[in-house]
Structure 1
């Protein structure tokens, strides 16, 4: 049973944390200014500006900020500053009872996928896959549609994705309803064999990635297949696979060929081309809510993520 967080209201305070890599300071400030323009107050985590190699501070400090924001009753939502790497390092130390007892909006993507999956598996809390403060919102090319997606946090709204947003291509025909789960493909693979392993049974699985050679995407999908995760799904939503790297010696199959090889299964709708992931526009979606994927009219209908 999903646990939906309470919607935001103007005047509410949201917390900014960096549970993975360190944010770019100027972009972070720009992103905060945009959030403030929505009528929100902003509280920055104590360790957001810390650096520990490629991490935004030590595991203990990043974990502290996560716990503090969930424990603070004045904080109505949490938005991550950026992805990068590091959330899996703190997952086993998270106080999930604290999160379950203080459900609130949690928003991010990329490396944050590990936290989306861990939080859902342990608490059932609906979380949001969307652009982050430093790496996206604070950039000068952050677009109108991506900005518009924050409206879903203020009012329970059904999201409908059609080809008016982007060209969609059917890999396998069908129609299915299921809980929406997934995120960054490489991070989903990292959950396998752990206590946070993604559950895909009767789910609509969203996958996206960036900067991977096609043989790496092949390996990721093969791992999902061998783990039984593709057999169990009710359908697959293929998001953006930007900056796919080409190695002339190994890139003997195209990305389309790889996706078709693993995802063209009978009686399960699979559609690609969704602007979900490391892309602009960045169509933000809630994980843990019911959705419907149909190849008939090439649509994805998503239930509200807040109450």
Structure 2
């Protein structure tokens, strides 16, 4: 396991760069999100290509999206980088990232969904701790769209801190395990397998390290969850996983249909019948319609479901520099 590169804490009055590495956001939603962030005391800077329309569904062409991301990392006046929305497009940027410039300018990078590819590659290539976190148009534009407690703990340096049943966490299999928390959006994470940008947590000829795997998605049917998990297992990716935490599944089932949720949980447990570690589900991070929880990726955590009625995911170290 490489030495982690931790960004600086997010201080009151920090300046946030607003970028769109993937798809075009709705301008009115971006403005609503900016107003919410500024009401929290942050300064914001909307980057030149963040609202671009096209080509296709992208927020500008690859060069424009890359230019904004690079400029935000390089600018010493920017304290953190937050994405407007996900969609599709971040993976196009991976071969063109200026990794040495980013290494020299570590700062919090925040987003989820499609940005899983950036989280994964920045951790793999630099050891950079990033944040699976609320986005401007997707969450801060919503009333009560972000979870204040986890945002504060993750970005200001609380050590340790926990997520519990009040954050949606439920037990699927009891146990206790510790590891480096990795993961993100199931489809994006899994589709990196077999590419140079896949998470580097298992290699037969290299020392391996234990992980806690976090997975969530939207609009993914039970058989697709089954297929993606089987792919991860066949790729050797579960060999180092000590525990698995699934996100909130409400965006993957018919609204108000508990039978669908029960069926999906049965699919997950059947797929993971040979997996020995603890399993939890329901964590409200990523694609949610509730206050979105901020999860640091890359640092050590412990999942404890030994008391099935009181599951707890505890971060064992700070995600930012002391």
Q: Please say whether Structure 1 and Structure 2 have the same fold, judged by a TM-score greater than 0.5.
A: yes
8 Å Cα contact 1:21-1:83 kept in structure 2: yes
Name 2:296's counterpart in structure 1: 286
Unaligned stretches of 5+ residues in structure 2: 202-208, 255-259
Matching residue within 28, 34, 55 for 2:30: 28
Name 1:69's counterpart in structure 2: 72
8 Å Cα contact 1:176-1:268 kept in structure 2: yes
Residues 1:131 and 2:134 aligned together: yes
Give 1:293 shift.
Answer: 0.6
Name 1:37's counterpart in structure 2: 39
Residues 1:261 and 2:270 aligned together: yes
Bigger drift between 55-64 and 189-198 goes to 189-198
Give 1:243 shift.
Answer: 2.9
Name 1:108's counterpart in structure 2: 111
Bigger drift between 95-104 and 194-203 goes to 194-203
Name 1:219's counterpart in structure 2: 227
Instruction: Report the Cα distance in structure 2 between the residues aligned to 1:14 and 1:23, rounded to whole angstroms.
Output: 17
Instruction: Report the Cα distance in structure 2 between the residues aligned to 1:50 and 1:19, rounded to whole angstroms.
Output: 11
Instruction: Report the Cα distance in structure 2 between the residues aligned to 1:60 and 1:68, rounded to whole angstroms.
Output: 12
8 Å Cα contact 1:294-1:300 kept in structure 2: yes
Instruction: Report the Cα distance in structure 1 between the residues aligned to 2:275 and 2:47, rounded to whole angstroms.
Output: 47
Name 1:276's counterpart in structure 2: 285
Question: 1:107-143 CA distances to partner (integer Å, 9 max, x unpaired)?
Answer: 0000011100011101001000011000111023526
Instruction: Report the Cα distance in structure 2 between the residues aligned to 1:293 and 1:185, rounded to whole angstroms.
Output: 19
Matching residue within 273, 276, 301 for 2:314: 301
SS in 2 for 1:204: strand
Give 1:266 shift.
Answer: 4.9
The correspondence of residues 154-173 of structure 1 with structure 2, limited to 5 A, is 155-157=156-158, 158-166=160-168, 168-171=170-173, 173=174
Matching residue within 200, 203, 211 for 1:203: 211
Instruction: Report the Cα distance in structure 2 between the residues aligned to 1:153 and 1:195, rounded to whole angstroms.
Output: 29
8 Å Cα contact 2:154-2:294 kept in structure 1: no
SS in 2 for 1:273: strand
Residues 1:176 and 2:177 aligned together: yes
SS in 1 for 2:252: coil
